[in-house]
A and B are shown apart, each in its own frame.
Chain A
Amino acid sequence: MNYKIINEPEITDEEINAMMDFRQVLEKHKSASSVRRFSYLSACVGLLVVVGLLLYQKSSSPIKSATQNQSVPSNLLKPKTKSTKSSDSTQSINNTATELPQVPTATKKIPKIVVSDHEQVNARPDIYIPAEPIEGYPHLYEYLNQNLKYPNEAAKDSIQGVESVAFVIDKNGKPSKIEILHSLGPDFDKEVLRILEQMPRWKPATLNAQPVPSKVSLPFTFRIKIQ
């Protein structure tokens, strides 16, 4: 960088006072704020357009069910069976001794895509309420914790882990299209299907107060507790 050496520029207090103009700073600040607000608004409108296009594409596809991901935190269910030695094939699994895990609060993600039959994209924002168990998530978790059993057949292999399941809660609040996203084995799949078929009823998701099918996913954690 080139430097130029100068003597102290002379400037009086009067000159400095005359240079002050807070109004100018304030006006520029206000116009900058309104530009920022406009940018946010543009971004929101842009997002709505993109979502609208996605909705349009989705509604014209053969599958007309809504999909929603309601992610429930992992480690939701940890049935810990008491066994003497996990690798021993003769071990006894005490299903009644299942320990209740702590039930975390369910987190609901606002779905990115919501589709219903004959849906039209309106300028008015849609009101979407995700599906939830009629008696609430804590009740559902309690049911799952109490009823989920570690499959005896799997104990000899000491299998532990998380089995992820997705299903659609239809317009009537019934689970359908159960899909195993991550399987720990056929015995675990069977147990998860058994428990899902008997689980408490759900309130379907609604879009502008109209029930719509929505997709829900749940992780089931199976652990062996070694005594």
Chain B
Amino acid sequence: MSEIQFQSNVFEQKEEEVNIKRSQTDPEAFKPLYEKYFKNILLFVLRRVGEKEIARDLTQQVFLKALNKISKFELRGLPFSAWLFRIAINECNDFFKKTKKERIVTLDESISESLFDEIMADNQLEELKLKLPKILKSLKADELQLIEFRYFEIRSFREIGLLLNITETYAKVKTYRALDKMKKLFLEHP
């Protein structure tokens, strides 16, 4: 499920803005932001690295980088949560580059049914569930990321665009291309 709270209420938004502004001069003021987003970022990272300790270290690193760069964060630009997730995406990518570890794809029961609906007819559900790991492994890193964002974490195309720094339309186009590829792979796989 999506962990980004883009639709927080006005009061929360104002409070967050105040904390961001204060953090730009006083690092101690970053604490409420850390506490608010720690869980979301940790779960996001954990789904990609699979190990709790690594996820914890990377999450700490995400917040450290955010704090180091908070003076450059502009309130009128990207939502703060999306900014944090972007840092998290980069941290995960760096981690896989440096360690050459396997990229983890977390599959569980909560995966959106809409993914299955997109790929095949109703009577092929069991077959798809069996084939899905293989199909996912055939995707490129950016394609997999889009499928995860859209169907595993149920993010809107707007959110996906913000996270990847692309337009909403392009996020949609790229996601549907990845889906088409998955459909073909499903039909091709024995």
Contacts and interface: CB of A to CB of B under 8 A. Distances in A.
Nearest to B93: A1
Contact of B52 (A8, A15, A24, A33): A15
Given A11-B46, A20-B38, A29 B102 contact: no
B22 interface: no
A226 interface: no
B12 interface: no
B50 interface: yes
B141 A4 contact: no
A30 B137 CA distance: 41
Contacts of A7: 106-108
Contact of A9 (B46, B63, B67): B46
Interface string A1-29: 11111111101010110011110111011
A22 B105 CA distance: 28
Contact of A25 (B43, B67, B106, B144): B67
B107 A16 contact: no
B31 interface: yes
A21 B60 CA distance: 8
A5 to B, nearest CB: 4
A29 B67 contact: yes
A4 B60 contact: no
Interface residues of B, number: 36
Nearest to A18: B56
A4 B27 contact: no
A6 B67 CA distance: 32
A100 interface: no
Nearest to B62: A25
Interface in B145-188: none
A110 interface: no
Contacts of B43: 11
Contacts of A48: none
A26 B28 contact: yes
A16 B105 contact: no
B35 A6 contact: no
B34 interface: yes
Interface in B1-60: 27-28, 30-31, 34-35, 38-39, 42-43, 46-47, 50-52, 56, 59-60
A24 B27 CA distance: 12
A106 B110 CA distance: 68
B31 A5 contact: no
Contacts of B144: 3
Contacts of A1: 96, 103, 141
Contacts of B103: 1-4
Given A4-B102, A5-B136, A5-B137, A22 B50 contact: no
A16 B38 contact: yes
B129 to A, nearest CB: 12
Given A5-B106, A19-B56, A26-B30, 5 more contacts: A1-B141, A5-B133, A8-B106, A13-B39, A29-B27
30 contacts: A2-B102, A3-B103, A3-B136, A3-B137, A5-B133, A5-B136, A6-B104, A6-B106, A8-B110, A9-B47, A9-B51, A11-B42, A11-B52, A13-B39, A15-B52, A16-B39, A19-B38, A19-B42, A20-B34, A21-B60, A22-B34, A22-B63, A25-B34, A25-B60, A25-B67, A26-B27, A26-B30, A29-B27, A29-B67, A32-B64
Interface of A: 1-9, 11, 13, 15-16, 19-22, 24-26, 28-30, 32-33
Nearest first, the 7 A-B pairs at minimum CB distance are A8-B108, A5-B133, A4-B102, A19-B56, A2-B102, A29-B67, A25-B63
